[in-house]
Chains A and B, each alone.
Chain A
Amino acid sequence: MKHFLLAMLMTASMAWAGDSGGQASGSSELDAVALVRAVETQYQGERSHGKMRMHIKTRSWNRMLELEMWSEGREKLLTRILAPVKERGTCTLKVDDDIWNYISRIDRLIKIPSSLMGDSWMGSHLTNDDLVKENKVDKLYQLAITERVGKDVTITGKPLPDAAVVWGKIVYKIDTASLTPLLVEYYDEEDVKVRSMVFSEFKQIEQRWLPMIARIVPEDKPGEFTEMQYLEIDFSVELPRDLFSIKSLRNR
């Protein structure tokens, strides 16, 4: 994954990639191929570095996190908490399918077991699975264009028979003019909507259109949300070679 927000954008872009994999039919396949390449070109920088504010609201608490993030390709991600002070320095490292948490307060490292991929990431409405699986949507879901209204396209993704996935269905709405995602909806196996992600505040950065805010809303918990907002993002950054390593976590 790239940044969380970027991850969601990439999820949307990979929906197009899946569509291009021969799952969709006829002209929509051609449209999908063209669009996905355009979306990928737009969002997939080789490397990135940015800062983000994460606002988590649950029925019991309301908290803000400030995060610094680095990414390389789709497989490597490193985040570090900047605020609040109590949690400053806590890092998450994702390399391929593995996730590590470094807890600065006690100077210890924990590898997240695969059985806990569905658990909340840092108390937010994001899961560890969101960090790992977002770049595999095309391999895990059968995608098809199901609706076109003007420049907005709706893509529906259903799990492939052998895919080990959490969701029963994913629905994307994408603005084909700016190549930006507008909405992602997640459904369970009984086709009940479980979670929505709404993108907003689109801004052009280095010739790329990016939504600056993504809000995740769990459908079964009224009033709760996790909102992620880019404070800064840089796609033309040089990163140290060993940045995405366990060793580097302690040096952050």
Chain B
Amino acid sequence: MKTLILIIVSAVFVNNFVLSRFLGICPFLGVSKRIKTAGGMSAAVIFVMTMASAATWLFYSHVLVRFHLEYLQTVTFILVIAALVQVVETVLLKMSPTLYRALGIYLPLITTNCAVLGVAVLNIQKQYNLIQTTVFGFGAAVGFGFAMMIFSGIRERMELCDTPVPLKGTAIGLVTAGLLSLAFMGFTGLVKQ
């Protein structure tokens, strides 16, 4: 239990996927203009990353290890995650149209995102077991959502401010992301890992 809590805290704050590991930068910059879209994206990321972690771990330990194909890890993980998201999307459309409409447009967008693949690869590298893997995937995604909400909140307010013309839009967004990342460096040392 203690390890699991440590895994979550470490994934959310110390090794935040976006702000410390610099994974998942494109949705971080792309859909962070409004808090609402950022929320939808974060929910989709939490959904996919938790699922993908568990699925790729199972795939790795039951298929790749058995056939001694570990070197195919990266390529096969992309395939497995893509197929998984597609299947879930189809099922969701039938079973829960409301959830589909809330997550729908974001699901295909993050299928082949580096954050999703990153969490799958990290799980194997860290030699987690299934529960730890799922918790790490969930925690990493929550960290992503956390960064996303902060960033979109700042961006929404910043849009109203008098930004110098050459810095308007993405430029000031990148500067802000850098400062935010610096701020997150403050969490280093919170968890020794």
Is the A/B pair a real complex? Answer: no
